[in-house]
Amino acid sequence: MITEIDIRIPFKFIHDQKYIADFVARELNISFTSISHIEVKKRSIDARKKNILYNLRLDIYIDEDFKENSTYFFPSTISDAKTVVIIGCGPGGMFAALRAIELGIKPIIYERGKDVRARRRDLAKIHKEHLVNPESNYCFGEGGAGTYSDGKLYTRSKKRGSTQKVLALFVHFGANKNILVDAHPHIGTNMLPGIIQAMREEIIKLGGEVHFESKLTDLKIENGEIKSIQINLNKWILCNNVILATGHSARDVFELLDNRKIKIEAKPFALGVRIEHEQKLIDAIQYHGLQSDDNLPPASYSLVAQIDGMGVYSFCMCPGGIVAPCATNIDEVVTNGWSPSKRNNPFANSGIVVQIEPHHLMDDFEKNPFVCLDFQQQVEHECWISGGKTQAVPAQRLMDFINGKKSESLPETSYQPGLKSIDLSTVLPPMISERLKKAFLEFGKKMNGFLTNEAVLHAPESRTSSPIKIPRNDETLEHIETKGLYPCGEGAGYAGGIMSAAIDGMNCIEKINVKLYS
């Protein structure tokens, strides 16, 4: 017999199998020896009170053998008869390809960047030599922005089936099984490249194609339908179904669409700074004075405030993480954050960003789809100039920022290219900096100890989501005016992270499948 049970246990006992089995036996009024296996189905922490608890949902095997389910199976072959072209090898593109294979459709991926291994060398150059390769960086290359990301897999999507499927696929390709049960699943930057490589190898083994250093440079539309795409300025490829999953940083793709009169729209996005504290301070705040304990993960936080009519919130918080240089061009700086699977770096970082609507920047924004993108680009460029025209970023201690005082010295940072002390109010637009100051004061009330001059702000955090939307038909998922073109994932405005981009990629393929087989 298998019985499901929800229990709450003190955090100290989370790794104590005997304690958990005793607890369950008492709760179910059965003998300890009749329990043949305990399978964790869900796990979350409740740290609201001083007695920190784990919530567990368990399957209890009573006098019943446990058989491990294999997580995933793919068909052994696909035919060349039906194909789909996928532009971009990020989570959107890759999960579209995997779903295509399941449905017997051959995916052909074109990716502007390099494979994970070659890409790693380009990342090292950003960190050490301040050299940004516009085709191979934290956003561009195999696995997209997801490969050297933090690998948090949360989503607000209510479609549980789809989220479980994405998690199961990650496990199939090498992720830790814990992601299937944790309330806030996390893979970690050290694990992701291997997983992404395994996905690509499987796609190719099963008959798909993946072309690196192959950039979409043009496309042909006839009678409102896509007919062909151009790769690397010279090669034209005939195609009827194209998934455009090029991410939020492919500014040249937005320009290409606009030049070809394919409708795009300005979209709300968020911009601000990345803050870094010592992790042990965040642990002490969130865990009621406890600074570290093997039975508790490094603590995270989630903060939100409404300031002068605009939302200000924490974004992509990385416990035990690193602040990363995520520019895609030589004349800009951009920060983001990641952490290894163990989240064991001494710092905690998070974006703190202000939500910007197109109408905040321009009254008749409908006339200019680039209004948010131009603003984003300008801030990134100004910060690059202030930082000294390298990948060093303008930075300021938190209390100095709030008090409008340039920092005389800066604390240690995880951001490898380095910091330059600047009063950030002089580089960030006032609509951002003034709201950030007020928001930090609010956050200090919610987290006692958050307001410290040992925390340092890195500017800017600007690639939180796409500043442009590529509108599509809700039913067919095709572009509203161009048949056969499927705007997909974060760059098109239909995803806000790895999980939602992956789900969107699979959804686009489902629609293409219906079209191909109807």
Ligand X SMILES: Cc1cc2nc3c(=O)[nH]c(=O)nc-3n(C[C@H](O)[C@H](O)[C@H](O)COP(=O)(O)OP(=O)(O)OC[C@H]3O[C@@H](n4cnc5c(N)ncnc54)[C@H](O)[C@@H]3O)c2cc1C
Q: Is 20 or 317 the residue whose CB approaches ligand X more closely?
A: 317
Q: Is the torsion defined by CA of 91, 92, 95, 101 positive or negative?
A: negative
Least Cα distance to 336 among 255, 411, 261, 249 occurs for 249
Among 61, 85, 115, 150, binds ligand X (CB under 6 A): 150
Q: Is 324 or 456 the residue whose CB approaches ligand X more closely?
A: 324
Among 130, 215, 437, 469, binds ligand X (CB under 6 A): 215
- What SS3 state is found at 180? helix
User: How many CB atoms neighbour CB 245 within 10 A?
Assistant: 34
Tokens describing residue 96:
């579209």
Q: Is 433 or 464 the residue whose CB approaches ligand X more closely?
A: 464
Among 61, 85, 141, 271, binds ligand X (CB under 6 A): 141
Q: Which residues pair with 351 in a beta bridge?
A: 274, 315
Among 11, 23, 54, 140, binds ligand X (CB under 6 A): 140
Q: Which residues pair with 336 in a beta bridge?
A: 324
107 lies in the site for ligand X, by CB under 6 A: no
**Phi/psi of residue 83, nearest 5 degrees:** -130, 155
89 lies in the site for ligand X, by CB under 6 A: yes
H-helix or E-strand spanning residue 508:
helix 498-517
H-helix or E-strand spanning residue 257:
helix 251-259
Q: Is 266 or 499 the residue whose CB approaches ligand X more closely?
A: 499
Applying the rule CB under 6 A, the residues between 273 and 332 that interact with ligand X are: 316, 324, 326
* Residues near ligand X (CB under 6 A), total: 43
Alpha helices in 329-402 (DSSP H): 358-361, 371-386, 398-402
27: amino acid identity, one letter = E
Strand 83-87 versus strand 310-318 pairing type? unpaired
Among 105, 180, 221, 253, binds ligand X (CB under 6 A): 253
Q: Is 145 or 383 the residue whose CB approaches ligand X more closely?
A: 145
- What SS3 state is found at 95? helix
Tokens describing residue 125:
């150059």
Stretch that binds ligand X, among 122-130, 412-420, 425-433, 492-500 (CB under 6 A): 492-500
Q: How far is the CB of 335 from ligand X (least distance, A)?
A: 9
Q: Is 149 or 433 the residue whose CB approaches ligand X more closely?
A: 149
Stretch that binds ligand X, among 55-63, 111-119, 342-350, 415-423 (CB under 6 A): 111-119
Start-to-end C-alpha separation, the chain: 45
Among 267, 489, 493, 508, binds ligand X (CB under 6 A): 489
54 lies in the site for ligand X, by CB under 6 A: no
Cβ within 8 Å of residue 22, ≥6 positions away: 32
Stretch that binds ligand X, among 4-12, 17-25, 162-170, 488-496 (CB under 6 A): 488-496
Q: How far is the CB of 383 from ligand X (least distance, A)?
A: 17
Question: Mask of contacts with ligand X, 389-428, x by CB under 6 A?
Answer: ----------------------------------------
112 lies in the site for ligand X, by CB under 6 A: yes
Least Cα distance to 307 among 456, 440, 445, 449 occurs for 440
Among 139, 303, 323, 398, binds ligand X (CB under 6 A): 139
Distance CA 378, CA 425 (A): 15
126 lies in the site for ligand X, by CB under 6 A: no
**Phi/psi of residue 40, nearest 5 degrees:** -75, 130
138 lies in the site for ligand X, by CB under 6 A: yes
- What SS3 state is found at 40? strand
Distance CA 268, CA 4 (A): 43
Q: How far is the CB of 406 from ligand X (least distance, A)?
A: 28
Cβ within 8 Å of residue 120, ≥6 positions away: 193
Among 498, 503, 509, 512, binds ligand X (CB under 6 A): 498
Stretch that binds ligand X, among 29-37, 125-133, 242-250, 467-475 (CB under 6 A): 242-250
For binding to ligand X (CB under 6 A), which residues are involved? Answer: 87-93, 110-113, 138-141, 144-146, 148-152, 215-216, 245-247, 250, 253, 316, 324, 326, 336, 338, 489-491, 495, 497-499, 501
